[in-house]
Amino acid sequence: MNHLFYLLSDPMLIVESGESRWYIRDVNQAFAAFSGFKKSDLLLLDPAAVISAPESGLSFAGMLRQLSDDQSFTPSLECRLVTKSSTPAAVQLTCRKLQAAEQVLYVLICKDLRETKWIDEYVLNHKIMIACTINERFGIQSFKHYYTPVVGQPASSYTNKPIFELVPEQERNKLKRALEHARNNRTTESLSFQLKLGDRFYNADAVIRPFYNGNRSFKSFALLFQNMQVNALDDDPSYKLRMLMLSKNISVTSLAQSTLISLTTISKIRNGKIKKPQRLTAELIAGELGVRPEAIWSSFKR
């Protein structure tokens, strides 16, 4: 089998039909971790005992026929995957039929739906502003906002970024500690911290729920934001300037050097003693920080 099969992050298994039953011929590492079973044990199991679609009423063979039929209107099925150390996991199952000489193999690809289902259920009973999932390296896997215009950029622009890029530097350790506590203790955690989306800062209450593979290894977090309020200081240009400089790790001295604006002037603007600098000064500072002048001083209009 192609070496890529074993390296893919999606849980996958290969099955074929024998004289009177179905057999698991191979699984990748992701499937073994997700199910919690050793590969050697999985190869002895009937795949129908591992994956089923009770709500559809289809047999295992019926599932594969439907999923592998090019004319089918159902390219995927919601199924139940039995795991070793937890309750059955909801998965979205897709299938690829492979013909090799007289041998017919079916490659089954599983997408874990547990985070999505938990978020959907939580949203039904609570007012959620933003929901996202985070991988073990704290990277954002998915990002969805429910109430516009909370987020000033498309949701897709936040995926694949570290979650800490959306948090002011002084708040990052608080969030990291909460994430690690939830992961290590297998508990749902709540906390309040600041969130930075676009040019705005929010005070947000968040809920963190960790998820695990069948072998008990950590898989991901679901992170939900609720009760988001625009920071009262958000309209203060000096505060916005300080937060931008902090988030980009730019000191007063380095900003003065890069813009050729005097250190005294930069300090007065940063401390709020100069409320509205000259336009050229504002443009130089904003440009160095990667934003438009009106993102700091709302009195400047394009």
* CATH of the domain spanning 236-296: 1.10.260.40
> What is the token pair recorded at 168?
């002011």
The answer, yes or no, to whether residue 115 has pLDDT greater than 80, is yes
CATH class of 114-233: alpha beta
Residue 236 region, left (φ>0) first, then alpha (ψ -120 to 50), else beta?
beta
Instruction: For residue range 230-287, list pLDDT tens digits in order.
Output: 765 556 788 888 878 887 889 999 999 999 999 999 999 988 889 889 999 999 999 9
Instruction: Tell me the pTM.
Output: 0.74
| Phi, psi (degrees; rounded to nearest 5) at 172 | -65, -40
The answer, yes or no, to whether residue 186 has pLDDT greater than 80, is yes
Beta-sheet strand order (sheet of 140-145): 140-145, 130-135, 218-230, 200-212, 189-197
**Comparing 114-233 with 236-296, is the CATH topology the same?**
no
* Residue 43 banded pLDDT, cuts 50, 70, 90: very high
Of 35-49, 56-70, 224-238, the least confident: 224-238
The answer, yes or no, to whether residue 112 has pLDDT greater than 70, is yes
- At 150 the pLDDT is 54
> What is the token pair recorded at 277?
């600098």
Instruction: For residue range 59-78, list pLDDT tens digits in order.
Output: 999 999 889 887 666 689 99
Mean pLDDT of the chain: 88
Domain segments of the chain as ranges: 3-112, 114-233, 236-296
The CATH label, of 3.30.750.200, 3.20.20.70, 3.40.640.10, 3.30.450.20, for the domain at 3-112 is: 3.30.450.20
Contact predicate 140/159, CB 8 Å: yes
Instruction: For residue range 137-159, list pLDDT tens digits in order.
Output: 999 999 998 865 455 577 788 89
Q: Cα–chain-centroid distance for residue 247?
A: 21
- Calculate mean pLDDT across residues 203-223: 95
DSSP secondary structure letter of residue 220:
E
- At 227 the pLDDT is 82
Beta-sheet strand order (sheet of 12-17): 22-27, 12-17, 103-112, 89-100, 77-81, 51-52
- At 189 the pLDDT is 96
- At 301 the pLDDT is 64
- Of 69, 92, 66, residue with least CA distance to 80: 92
* Residue 5 banded pLDDT, cuts 50, 70, 90: confident
- At 2 the pLDDT is 66
The answer, yes or no, to whether residue 199 has pLDDT greater than 70, is no
Calculate what percentage of the chain has a pLDDT beyond 70: 93
- At 302 the pLDDT is 56
The answer, yes or no, to whether residue 96 has pLDDT greater than 70, is yes
